[in-house]
Homo-oligomer: A and B are copies of this chain.
Amino acid sequence: MENKIENISLPLKGEHLIMALKVADDLEDTERIKSLILEAIRLSEATILNYCEHKFEPQGYSIVVLIGESHASIHTYPEDKGVFIDYFTCGKIKTNIFKEYILKNLNVTQVIELATIQRGETND
């Protein structure tokens, strides 16, 4: 793919949201999980370029989404009612909107991990 997404010169820096959640949702509903992450990305005003997904046997689902500003992912573990979510962006993306949408739309029973890591050159 050769879309005309501008890659403006920036310092090598980014923001990386990491989440590990236990949820009461039906994680076998992979279409819902896919819609959830794609909508969260859209609402945060990032540019979705492409994604790959995989359904595991007997259960589990992964999707990684390539965005113009880096990537996002969800990995689900239905047997543990657990999900890992990453949202790594290098641009001026509304990461907080992504996070709030995810937390609002999953029935979270336990927040195991919820952190934002400043990536790369952070000393300015």
Contacts and interface: CB of A to CB of B under 8 A. Distances in A.
Nearest to A20: B120
A110 to B, nearest CB: 9
Given A57-B7, A119-B20, A75 B50 contact: no
Contacts of A75: 70-71, 90
Interface of A: 1-7, 9-12, 14, 16, 18, 20, 22, 49-60, 62-66, 68, 70-71, 73, 75, 77, 79-80, 82, 84, 86, 88, 90, 112-113, 117, 119-121
Going nearest first, the 7 A-B pairs with the smallest beta carbon separation are A7-B60, A12-B82, A7-B56, A20-B120, A50-B52, A9-B79, A64-B64
